[in-house]
Amino acid sequence: MAVSVENLKAEIKVYNYEVLTDGDDTAAQRAIEKAELWAKAKIIQAKGEWDDENEIIRLIIIKRALYELYSYAENEAVAQDKKEDAMELLKAYYGDAIDSSGYASGSPDAQKPLAIGAVKKCSHIR
């Protein structure tokens, strides 16, 4: 069962929901869509399997969707808290596959910066 607008409404007070969405459920739906895309990207990067029936993944999506809503309403302090909640759940579920920045770690496919001096200028190129 995918996350719904009703799931978001159940997580916060009615007043807060109205303020965050300006009374428009499409704002909440868009927040859910963005949260799902973010979660899918992180889970795939961690070599996990996507399953929107998994309760932990659903909660990760809900927390990230709340982040999107609070950010949309320009309430950055609460938004940051929701973002951290989503990341904590993601790291708790996938363990070492997710590092503190949310990127996959410990695998050959992990994102790594280029070492200084890794690019060498060829003498025949001017």
Region class of 122: left (phi > 0), else alpha (psi between -120 and 50), else beta? beta
Query: What's the pLDDT tens digit per position in 8-33?
Result: 999 999 999 999 998 899 999 999 99
Answer yes or no: is pLDDT of 90 > 60: yes
- Measured between alpha carbons, how far is 54 from 41 in angstroms, rounded to an integer? 16
Please give the pLDDT value at position 58. 94
Please give the pLDDT value at position 110. 45
Answer yes or no: is pLDDT of 97 > 80: no
Q: Give the mean model confidence (pLDDT) for residues 95-111.
A: 56
Please give the pLDDT value at position 123. 56
- CB-CB contact of 64 with 42 (8 Å): no
Contacts of residue 94, Cβ cutoff 8 Å, sequence gap at least 6:
43, 46, 48
How many CB atoms are closer than 10 A to CB 19? 14
Q: What is the mean pLDDT of the chain?
A: 81
Please give the pLDDT value at position 124. 53
Phi/psi for 104 (5° steps) reads -65, 145
Work out the pLDDT band at 112, boundaries 50, 70, 90.
very low
Answer yes or no: is pLDDT of 117 > 60: no
Q: Give the mean model confidence (pLDDT) for residues 59-83.
A: 90
